[in-house]
Amino acid sequence: MNEMMIETRNLTKKYKGTRAVDALNLAIPRGEIYGFLGPNGAGKTTTIRMLLGLIRPSSGVVQIFGQDLKRDRIKILRRVGSLVEYPSYYGHLNAVENLETIRRILNVPKTRIDEVLHTVGLTKDAKRHVKGYSLGMKQRLGIAAALLGSPELLILDEPTNGLDPSGILEIRELIKKMPQEQGITVLVSSHLLSEIEQMASSVGIVNQGKMIFQDSISNLQRKAGSEIHIALSDAEAAMITVREQGCFARLDQGKLIFKGIDDGQIARLVSALVDARHSIYRVEERRKSLEDLFLTMTSGASGSASEIAAIGSGAPRGAGLRKEVAQ
Amino acid sequence: MNTWISALRSERIKLGRSQILLLAVFAPLISMLIGFLANLDSAGSEAEAWEGLLLAMSMLHAMFFLPMMTGIFSAFVCRYEHAGGGWKQILSLPVSRSALYMAKLLTVAGALALSQLLFSVGLLIVGAVKGFDLGSVPWDVLSARLIGGFVACLPLAALQLFVSTMWSSFAAPLVLNMIFTVPNILIANSATFGPYYPWVQPLLAMLPSGGGYDFGAFSLPFENLMITVGGSFVLFLAAGLIYFVRKPV
């Protein structure tokens, strides 16, 4: 139990004095879907490149399957499948030929090609030139390539980047099946909290190269806390009833807002309010959104107002963060 | 060793399905055309006629086609890896970087060998059509020059592969190659620089010695040229390998 698939100690990468990755301690147990979360430019891809031996760490240790990456790189990579940033493909070849170039290096039986194509749902398009594929299909081919060697560990960097909603859904379902059906441990990075929330079982949040949170996704959600909002006819008068019940509410735009109350209390409150002839329109639970939580965590580390704005708002995020990458 | 072979077999698919190998066919065809047009009536003996034909056909082939093809093949084997994160994918596979680099170099060498082989076949066909005696083919001279021409491409292949892995553009190494190939005709005349100039080495190796070609770098004995070729190959290969093994991807 709790065997670590990936473990890094004080992993650091310096580029001209700035630390792209700063003393990072990753710990990913077997069978998890580990969400690696952070804004673009936080050091996610740099970390993943170090995990795969594509770049050398300035200092620190990477251990995968308990083996030192520096010493046993080839042996480790044999058991790892990866997709870093963009799916790479040979456009003049079809899907089978593309996978064949990789199969020859991995030395696995030819039947694996059909199996992985089936897994990602590309069997029908297997004989088409990859040039003509949609982005979602290319991404699925990339995942097929990563799965080809029957890896125990799958490392996916932003696998849903640039996909449309149905593409995102497909990839997400694919990833969620991995640990159950094939016993694969998955490291998946994203800059979207909602993405990670929907597939990961544990999560690590990085910002400016530093790990600011690493725990199970449920602990992250617990940390986020929740509120009960009750919308009703006369909120101000209802405050008195609430107080009689021994609860404390905040009044906000004709709604009563409760923090940290349990189910029994809610039931008693509602019946008391009904008895007091209030019309109750709506009782809803509102979790403090993880986006807000993420914001408080990351802003604590950076303190830069513009960056917070870029993370906080949904749509302009891409533009704001692309600038960071360019730096 | 196993991973070398797997990497090589992987390279073969990428090259095999592309049209780039047509180049290796195209260049000998042009040389054959030149061979047909050449006037070799002045040759004294049959052997001299064959050497004359080799001279006529090698001029453009060795001076221009071989260095250009070397540059194009070298750039081509890196092309797909440079496009869209291909290096990341291939270097995340369980293959050592040196094995991959050598596989790419061997692929380039293989394509050049194919072209040189077709050139040899073309030479024999042209000679036969012109009515030269196939029984008096000077095999020793021809094979030395044809194999020598191929071997003399290898330092350039190592150099161009080094540049092609370094620059992510497909065109940049080709432009560099073109710029250094054009002055070949001048550099061949220099006994000092010629032998060390990788772009002109195929020409020096392929032209038969003697006859009118005893000036400039052409007067260098074949053996000495091969020593220079071997030395520069080792140098460029080592530089390329050291760079590639440490290259951040």
Burial of A4 (0-12, 13-18, 19+ CB in 10 A): middle
Distance CA A265, CA A245 (A): 9
Q: Which residue ranges make up each domain of chain B?
A: 2-246
Distance CA B51, CA B207 (A): 9
The residues facing A232 across adjacent strands are: A280
A61 three-state secondary structure: strand
- CB–CB of A88 and B6 under 8 A? no
Q: Which residue ranges make up each domain of chain A?
A: 4-79+151-222+296-311, 226-287
Lowest mean pLDDT among A112-126, A301-315, B152-166, B187-201: A301-315
Question: So what's the pLDDT on residue A72?
Answer: 92
The answer to whether domain A226-287 has CATH 3.30.70 is yes
Give the count of beta carbons closer than 10 Å to the beta carbon of residue A75. Answer: 13
Question: So what's the pLDDT on residue B105?
Answer: 94
Question: So what's the pLDDT on residue A90?
Answer: 84
Q: B160 pLDDT band (50/70/90 cuts)?
A: very high
> What is the chain B residue with the closest CA to A108?
B6
**Torsion, Cα of A218, A222, A224, A226 (10° steps):** 120
ipTM: 0.80
Chain A CB contacts of B97 under 8 Å are none
Q: B218 pLDDT band (50/70/90 cuts)?
A: low
CA distance A180 to chain B (A): 25
> What is the chain A residue with the closest CA to B18?
A92
Question: So what's the pLDDT on residue B3?
Answer: 75
More confident residue, B213 or A139: A139
Nearest to A222 by CA among A209, A203, A246, A240: A203
Residue A54 DSSP label:
S
Burial of B68 (0-12, 13-18, 19+ CB in 10 A): middle
CA distance A319 to chain B (A): 21
Chain B CB contacts of A145 under 8 Å are 89
B54 Cβ neighbours under 8 A, 6+ residues apart: B123, B141, B142, B145, B206, B208
- CB–CB of B93 and A102 under 8 A? yes
CA distance A158 to chain B (A): 13
Q: B86 pLDDT band (50/70/90 cuts)?
A: confident
- pLDDT of B82 higher than 90: no
Residue A278 DSSP label:
P
The closest CB to that of A82, out of B3, B92, B246, belongs to B92
Distance CA A56, CA A12 (A): 10
- What tens-digit pLDDT sequence spans chain A (327 residues)? 468 899 999 999 999 888 999 999 999 999 999 999 988 888 999 999 999 999 999 999 999 999 999 999 999 999 999 998 777 788 888 899 999 999 999 989 999 999 999 988 889 998 998 888 888 888 889 999 999 999 999 999 998 887 888 888 888 988 998 888 888 999 999 988 888 888 999 999 998 888 988 988 888 877 766 788 899 888 888 888 888 888 888 888 888 888 878 888 888 889 988 988 889 998 888 876 666 777 777 665 544 433 333 343 333 333 333 333 333
> What is the chain A residue with the closest CA to B20?
A92
Tracing tokens 């034909």 back to the chain, one arrives at B53
Chain B CB contacts of A54 under 8 Å are 87-88, 91-92, 248-249
Q: Which residues of A touch B (CB under 8 A)?
A: 49, 52-56, 74-75, 77-78, 80, 82-90, 92-93, 97, 100-102, 104-107, 142, 145, 149
Question: So what's the pLDDT on residue B213?
Answer: 58
B110 Cβ neighbours under 8 A, 6+ residues apart: none
CATH topology of domain A4-79+151-222+296-311: Rossmann fold (3.40.50)
Distance CA A234, CA A279 (A): 8
> What is the chain B residue with the closest CA to A74?
B94
Highest mean pLDDT (candidates A85-89, B34-38, B150-154, B181-185): B150-154
- CB–CB of A74 and B80 under 8 A? no
Q: B17 pLDDT band (50/70/90 cuts)?
A: confident
Q: B131 pLDDT band (50/70/90 cuts)?
A: confident
CA distance B133 to chain A (A): 45
Average pLDDT over residues B56-64: 89
Question: So what's the pLDDT on residue A80?
Answer: 94
Distance CA A22, CA A210 (A): 5
Chain A CB contacts of B83 under 8 Å are 88
Question: So what's the pLDDT on residue B1?
Answer: 63
Question: So what's the pLDDT on residue A189?
Answer: 94
Question: What are the DSSP E strand ranges found in A152-249?
Answer: 153-157, 185-190, 202-207, 210-216, 226-232
Distance CA B236, CA B203 (A): 19
Alpha-carbon distances of A115 from A61, A108, A209, B20, rounded to whole Å = 35, 12, 38, 32
User: Are A256 and A249 contacting, i.e. CB atoms less than 8 angstroms apart?
Assistant: yes
Nearest to A283 by CA among A241, A221, A237, A232: A232
- CB–CB of B9 and A104 under 8 A? yes
- pLDDT of B222 higher than 80: no
Highest mean pLDDT (candidates A279-293, B147-161, B184-198): B147-161
The reply to whether the predicted model has a pTM over 0.95 is no
Nearest to A54 by CA among B16, B61, B85, B73: B85
The closest CB to that of A77, out of B10, B13, B92, belongs to B92
- CB–CB of B6 and A107 under 8 A? yes
Question: So what's the pLDDT on residue B49?
Answer: 84
The closest CB to that of B93, out of A83, A86, A105, belongs to A105
A145 Cβ neighbours under 8 A, 6+ residues apart: A81, A83, A87, A98, A99, A102, A116, B89
- CB–CB of B93 and A77 under 8 A? yes
